[in-house]
């Protein structure tokens, strides 16, 4: 969403001469967006900062703090005239890896309060899937299925009750993600190399994608060493997913089977959320880079959702996670 200036500040109760300034943060692994708005919700400015990692990681707290401060500073630099001196009144943060009701959420709230100089009563810190849900479905029930490097689904019923499914980290629970699609393809290519599966163009495409020569007899050993390198991780597998999708578009049966399997996993997540919330015909929104860029996966997910959750309707989200965070921030004004 493009930031637009609103020259009419909304004064908070009891302080008619002071503008109300709200901040909504969407803190992902690649970057953080800070969106600033007045008390009525009109967007004033937007800025970006670095991404975050799980707070339990050694660098987690420092990166979380830097992400909030730097994205806020970038957004403040774009505020319309007359707003630069406005104090932040409330904020909400949707961040990757923060589970509602967990010690990690408590730590995130304390870090955000210090970074943004706000009391806890004027602050909400939760997972980015929750702010994505709020942005996608501002009022009423709905389910968001998010698939990027990782994956998660979360939904809300008509009474405000929420339920999440999957998203337990790439080592344990990444079915439907770019990471799993890439990993599944690479694993299949190794089975092809040692004769367990018939060789298809998938082998050469993925190995060349990793900068390897498919004719090199040592390539499988190089792959084995490559994937255990600390710098490879989930992102290393995820970058192979577009290659699997391209092969599926060209009719490669094994690539198609990989995408069908992962699409079914995503549909099962949506169905589990609907069952937990007793949603019979929920609207479902697809979010994340996998749905945006992998057309064949998107097609198979639509088909799998019809089979797994009859009555569900696929649609576009009303808005994004930063807007969802702003809605949570407004609630903190009391």
Q: What is the mean pLDDT of the chain?
A: 92
Helix, strand or coil, per DSSP, at residue 188: helix
Q: What are the distances in angstroms from CA 233 to CA 38, 62, 182, 239?
A: 40, 21, 11, 11
- Judged against a pLDDT cut of 90, whether residue 219 lies above it is answered with yes
pTM beyond 0.75: the answer is yes
Please identify which residue in the block is written with the tokens 């970006």.
48
Q: What are the distances in angstroms from CA 139 to CA 136, 188, 220, 236, 245?
A: 9, 44, 51, 38, 35
Main-chain phi, psi angles of 144, to 5 degrees: -110, 135
- Judged against a pLDDT cut of 50, whether residue 8 lies above it is answered with no
Percent of the chain surpassing pLDDT 70: 95
Please identify which residue in the block is written with the tokens 């589990």.
272
Pair of tokens at residue 72: 């806020």
Tell me, what's the pLDDT at 15? 38
Of residues 41 and 276, more confidence is placed in: 276
Per DSSP, 281 falls in state S
**Closest-CA residue to 180 (of 264, 99, 251):** 264
- Judged against a pLDDT cut of 60, whether residue 2 lies above it is answered with no
Percent of the chain surpassing pLDDT 90: 84
pLDDT confidence bin for 18, thresholds 50/70/90: low
- Per residue in 251-263, pLDDT (tens digit) is 999 999 999 999 9
pLDDT confidence bin for 11, thresholds 50/70/90: very low
Q: What is the arithmetic mean of pLDDT over 9-30? A: 69
Contacts of 30 (CB under 8 A, 6+ apart): 51
Q: How far apart are CA 313 and CA 45, in angstroms?
A: 33
pLDDT confidence bin for 72, thresholds 50/70/90: very high
- Per residue in 86-123, pLDDT (tens digit) is 999 999 999 988 988 899 999 999 999 999 999 999 99
Tell me, what's the pLDDT at 28? 87
- Judged against a pLDDT cut of 80, whether residue 4 lies above it is answered with no
**94 in Cβ contact with 321 (< 8 Å):** yes
- Judged against a pLDDT cut of 50, whether residue 9 lies above it is answered with no
Pair of tokens at residue 33: 């967006």
CATH number, domain 140-317, options 3.30.360.10, 3.90.1170.50, 3.30.420.40, 2.40.40.20: 3.30.420.40
**Domain ranges in the chain?**
21-138+320-331, 140-317
Q: How far apart are CA 97 and CA 174, in angstroms?
A: 14
Kindly report the CATH number that applies to the domain delimited by 21-138+320-331. Answer: 3.30.420.40
- The lowest-confidence range among 11-15, 113-117, 143-147, 255-259 is 11-15
Pair of tokens at residue 304: 């799998």
Q: What is the arithmetic mean of pLDDT over 202-222? A: 97
Pair of tokens at residue 214: 């498919």
Q: How far apart are CA 218 and CA 86, in angstroms?
A: 62
Tell me, what's the pLDDT at 7? 38
The radius of gyration of the chain's CA atoms, rounded to the nearest angstrom, is: 22
Upper half-sphere CA count for residue 10 (Cβ side, 13 Å): 15
**Closest-CA residue to 329 (of 90, 134, 97, 119):** 90
**92 in Cβ contact with 24 (< 8 Å):** yes
């Amino acid at each position: 969403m493009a930031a637009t200036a609103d020259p009419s500040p909304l004064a908070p109760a009891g302080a008619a001469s002071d503008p109300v300034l709200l901040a909504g943060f969407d803190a992902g692994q690649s970057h953080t967006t800070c969106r600033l708005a007045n008390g009525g919700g009109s967007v004033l400015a937007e800025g970006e900062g670095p991404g975050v990692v799980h707070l339990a990681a050694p660098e987690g707290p420092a990166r979380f703090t830097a992400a909030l401060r730097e994205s806020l500073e970038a957004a403040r630099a774009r505020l319309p005239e007359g707003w630069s001196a406005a104090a932040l009144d409330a904020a909400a943060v949707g961040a990757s890896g923060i589970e509602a009701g967990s010690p990690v959420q408590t730590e995130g709230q304390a870090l955000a309060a210090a970074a943004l100089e706000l009391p806890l009563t004027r602050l909400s810190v939760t997972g980015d899937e929750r702010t994505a849900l709020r942005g996608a479905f501002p009022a009423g029930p709905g389910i968001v299925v998010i698939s990027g490097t990782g994956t998660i689904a979360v939904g809300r019923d008509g009474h405000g009750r929420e339920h999440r499914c999957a998203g337990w980290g790439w080592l344990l629970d990444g079915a439907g993600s770019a990471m799993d699609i890439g990993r599944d393809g690479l694993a299949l290519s190794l089975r092809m190399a040692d004769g367990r599966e018939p060789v298809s163009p998938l082998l050469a495409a993925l190995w060349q994608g990793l900068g390897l020569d498919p004719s090199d007899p040592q390539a499988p050993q190089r792959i084995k060493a490559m994937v255990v390198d600390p710098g490879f991780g989930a992102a290393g597998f995820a970058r192979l997913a577009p290659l699997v999708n391209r092969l599926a578009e060209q009719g490669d049966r094994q690539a198609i089977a990989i995408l069908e399997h992962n699409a079914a996993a995503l549909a099962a997540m949506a169905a589990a959320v609907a069952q937990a919330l007793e949603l019979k015909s929920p609207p479902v929104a697809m979010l994340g880079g996998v749905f945006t860029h992998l057309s064949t996966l998107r097609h198979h997910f639509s088909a799998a959702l019809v089979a797994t959750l009859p009555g569900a309707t696929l649609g576009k989200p009303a808005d994004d996670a930063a807007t969802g965070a702003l809605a949570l921030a407004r609630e903190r004004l009391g």
